[in-house]
Structure 1
Amino acid sequence: MTGVSVSSSGGVPEKFHSREELVAFIEQEARAAVSRAAQAPPGGTVRVERRVPWVTSGPVLQDSAGYSVLKAAALALGFVGPEQAKEELHVHEQLRQLYGGYGFVPHQGQQSFLVPLASAHLPAFEPQGQRLREELRQKLSAATERYDPDEAAWLRRRTSPWSKALGTVSDSAGGTLVAGPHVGELIDLQRSLEVFSAAGAREVALPPNGRLQFPKLTAASTAYWVGEGTSIPESQPATGMLSLQAKKLGVLVRLNNELLRFASPSAEGLVRYDMARAAALKADLAMLEGSGGTQIQGLLTYPDIVVHPASAPGTNGDLFQPQDVALMESRLPDAVEAPTAWVMRKSMYAALMNRRTDAISTGDNRGVFLFREPQAGDPNPPKLFGTRVVRSAQVSNSRTKGSASNLTYILLGYFPDWIIARLGIMEFLASGLGDSALQNDQTVLRGIQHIDAGPRHAASFVLCDQLVIA
């Protein structure tokens, strides 16, 4: 490249002998222009974009590019350098400073990279946190409109067809997930896949210290009829606490490196969706049957949950009857005006919807449907006598009674009394790649999020257990 003469803002000609020198000069002049535009004139304040509408500020000089979880993961794992993920590095520093002020300490002794999980859950006790909330919400959704189905199809063909890692070729390994633009915030995707969230569970932000307590009334005051001049007996309401403490939920995904190289909205959506799906399935299983300790304590393990025995008991499993619907609802406390959802397996719901009375002879199963209601128009979402049904394979089909080990259960409840608390950030931890990953041109992605959940009132839920799927 021959020498190029350019006049700087000070009128001094500059000569460049390489493209790198020219790029450095242009960047320097752009920063100087933005700095001058940001200076307020006498007697007023002028925003940068009003003075220089063609110049954007920020870590990458391209604010509309948005934030990429995929690039953040690639940077954390050393797949790309800081120059290729400036926006993601800038957000990491912002989150580290914000949470560091509240005492949050990332993992020590290994490379830790912070990414936003839920902008609405970031601490906003000061203007800095409020501004960061809105900024991240816009950045995380910036790439939504650039999803390209043709590009997704090309990615599907381009990635290695024999890889067992998450890719875009095999349907069983994620190919079917590329059909739609799965972008947006990770937490929004995860909520849409969680049973408890779909059933109406209440979502709250977990403070940076990872601890949260909800007061609850465990016993009410007592009222008495008393005569004239007679003292009123004293009663003392009993109170308790629902204590939530951050539990660590890890997601480990192997990615074909093509997804990192072609970091587009299509690949971004695929990775976000798969991470959210994996976390949602793991969290749901714990919320239902978790043992507590290092994981969420499941709803079924709380002693105060109301247990309803099915009306048709059997030695090797019970049969759910039409009258059990009203009987389960009648067991909810008076404070619950109406339940918000049923939770059961898809196969159990299908069995109930297909259950029929006998018409002519015993066992002919040709009479009226026992559980179906007349539907006006579209029957979706599925309902059982007016209450929404949330169906999930996370509901066990291996409950036991007698010699049977393929039984299931049905839950009915007022799910706003189930509290889900999450930290607003997620940690990516860099981990060494094994020989197989290097050989297959793959990257191992490990993400950590902090979550806990529990019931404010376990009596707001009714369980009918040991049911035959029929």
Structure 2
Amino acid sequence: MTRKQISEMVKALGPEVAQELIDAAARSAHGRMATDRATREGSVYASVASFGAFTKGVVAASRRSGAIALTDAMKRFVNADVQKAVQLTKFDSAGVLAPIQQSGEVIEFLRPEAALLKLGVRTQPFKGELHMGTQTEASVFKWLGEGGTVPKSAPKYGKIVLKAHKGMVLTDISNDLLHTPGVGDAGVGEDLRATVADGLDDAGFNGDGTGGTPKGLFVQLGSAHTFANTGTTPAAYLADIDKAVELPLTAHVRMGATAWVLHPTRATALMQLKDSGLFIFRQEMLDNGTIRGFPFVMTTRVPVTRITFCADWRQFIYGIDEELLLSEHDTRAEYDETTIRALVKADFKLRQPKAFSSITY
């Protein structure tokens, strides 16, 4: 082969080589989670700075940098396995897509920003499509008199299907920030974490199932468990809050990860509510972080017109496809910015819709 043919072959192999490097990091001790589900030191998701440094390495790779430039970029990434792999591999092209890590670590990385994850939903890794069984009606217990018979129970079962819906973030990052060691790493990581978490929260709560959007919580809620408020007086608020708690419990839903979710403006309305000059919810909310004894999470991703309760948020299935993809999508040279793309595949399903109730205002 001529020198030119060898060069072309190396360029063609570049994307595959880059993927092998990142897959090796994902399989390494540094890339895995500990047995207690904590992220190991040195992992891509160990800190926002680590994730930001890795993102910057992917950007360098997507520009098809030479071996020296790419090696220098990846040396700044803290994962020792990736550093070693880059040093031992020489190639001229690194490809534009670099899949990273397992979905379990993606969840841990997003948790500080995602309201749904704070509520204690069940996270479920899957690839492409996943079928899960669910029980829609339980068995019936009856007492048996002497010589009598008991009819057989007829519990009913169904299934829910998780299908990968593709979501994407295109974020413009200043090249000054992108090239600043340390501070720039944290800035890039924080921006991507907040943006991806916000997009997943929005779909998880409000997705309507149209186009490529998955169906969120409010579309899947049963009509019998969604009701209009009876008023804005203290007595009406109290009655509605009690009813929201009662609905899942009278549907025989076992209590687990119990919590409210509401918009900050609705939370302020509750805290300002008085009866005979005394605040009804304020002290409990400020001192204990609870409403009627159950914890609450505030997020602007839910409508201000709703207060939602769940007896067990583990009945909400938060599915993330295995891979998060990063690449440089475009370079905004006129603004001295780089556009980074983060792509994730996810779906959301209610395993037991009766576990949820929602008041509309």
Q: What TM-score do the two structures reach when normalised by structure 2?
A: 0.71
Percent identity over paired residues: 22
Q: Deviations over 1:412-465 (max 9, x none)?
A: 0121211212234311234343xxx11222111111112222111111111101
Partner of 1:278: 195
Unaligned 5+ segments in structure 1 are: 1-64, 95-109, 122-185, 359-366, 398-407
Residue in 1 that maps onto 2:155: 237
Distance 2:295 2:325 in 1: 35
Greater Rg by CA: 1
Alpha-carbon separation, structure 1, partners of 2:287 and 2:349: 29
Q: What pairs with 1:343-354 in structure 2 (closer than 5 Å)?
A: 343-354=261-272
Deviation at 1:86, TM superposition (A): 4.2
Which has the larger share of helix? 2
Q: Per the alignment, do residues 461 and 248 of structure 1 end up closer, same or farther by CA in structure 2, a change over 3 Å counting?
A: same
Q: Distance in 2 between matches of 1:339 and 1:85?
A: 43
What displacement does 1:313 show? 7.8
In the TM superposition, what whole-angstrom CA distance separates every residue of 1:114-168 from its partner, at most 9, and x where no partner exists?
22364x45xxxxxxxxxxxxxxxxxxxxxxxxxxxxxxxxxxxxxxxxxxxxxxx
- Asked if 1:457 corresponds to 2:352, the answer is yes
Instruction: Name 2:124's counterpart in structure 1.
Output: 204
CA change 1:450–1:92 in 2 (3 A) is farther
How many residue pairs are counted as aligned between the two chains?
Answer: 292
Mark the CA change 1:330 to 1:244 in structure 2 (over 3 Å): closer, same or farther: same
Alignment of 1:55-204 (within 5 A): 68-78=53-63, 80=65, 81-86=69-74, 91=82, 111-116=96-101, 118=103, 120=104, 187-204=107-124
Report the secondary structure of 2:260's partner residue. Answer: strand
Q: Structure 2 CA distance, aligned partners of 1:269 and 1:368?
A: 45
| TM-aligned CA distance change 1:298 to 1:319, over 3 Å | farther
1:235 match: secondary structure: coil
Q: Is 1:419 aligned to 2:338, yes or no?
A: no
Matched, 1:390 2:309: no
Higher normalized contact order (CA 8 Å, seq sep 6+, divided by chain length): 2
| CA RMSD of superposed structures (Å) | 3.2
Change (3 A) 1:268 1:86: closer
**Aligned-partner Cα distance in 2 for 1:224–1:383:** 38
The answer (yes or no) to whether the contact 1:215–1:239 under 8 Å persists in 2 is yes
Pair 1:368 & 2:356 matched: no
Q: Secondary structure at the match of 2:295?
A: strand
Tell me if structure 1 keeps the 8 A contact 2:139–2:154. yes
Task: Tell me, yes or no, if the aligned pair for 2:284 and 2:290 is still in contact at 8 Å.
Answer: no
Instruction: Please name the residue that 1:247 is paired with.
Output: 165
Structure 2 unmatched ranges of 5 or more: 1-48, 86-94
Aligned position for 1:335: 253
Q: Normalising to structure 1: TM-score of the pair?
A: 0.56
Structure 1 residues 273 and 292: alpha-carbon distance in aligned structure 2, compared to 1, 3 A threshold: same
State the Cα distance separating 1:205 from its structure 2 match. Answer: 2.0
Q: Tell me the distance in 2 between the aligned counterparts of 1:111 and 1:311.
A: 55
Structure-2 change in CA distance of 1:111 and 1:337 (3 Å): closer
Distance in 2 (CA, whole Å) between partners of 1:210 and 1:449 is: 12
Contact 1:115 1:426 in 2 (8 A): yes
